[in-house]
Amino acid sequence: MAALGFAGMATESRDVKKDEPRDKVACPYCRCEDTERVALFGSVLLTSQYYCRHCHSAFEVVKG
Ligand SMILES: [Zn+2]
């Protein structure tokens, strides 16, 4: 559940780009909005996992 292969994300970056551009989430660590959503399976727990491309940190956002 914790280990996520972010290194493998590069091949899917194009698909992520088209996914709701208005859904911007600021990184809780550096406040940068250069983040992208990853790991759709997190929706089961009403959370979305994001990855900050600025400080390379992963974080979760609770939805609703
Ligand atoms: Zn960050």
Ligand 1 mean position, distance from CA 52 (Å): 5
Distance CA(18)–CA(59), nearest Å, equals 21
Ligand 1 mean position, distance from CA 44 (Å): 24
Does the pTM surpass 0.75? The reply is no
Series of mean pLDDT values for 10-residue runs along the chain (64 residues) = 55 51 83 88 71 95 79
Ligand 1 mean position, distance from CA 51 (Å): 8
Ligand 1 mean position, distance from CA 60 (Å): 12
Closest CA to 16 of 45, 44, 49, 54: 49
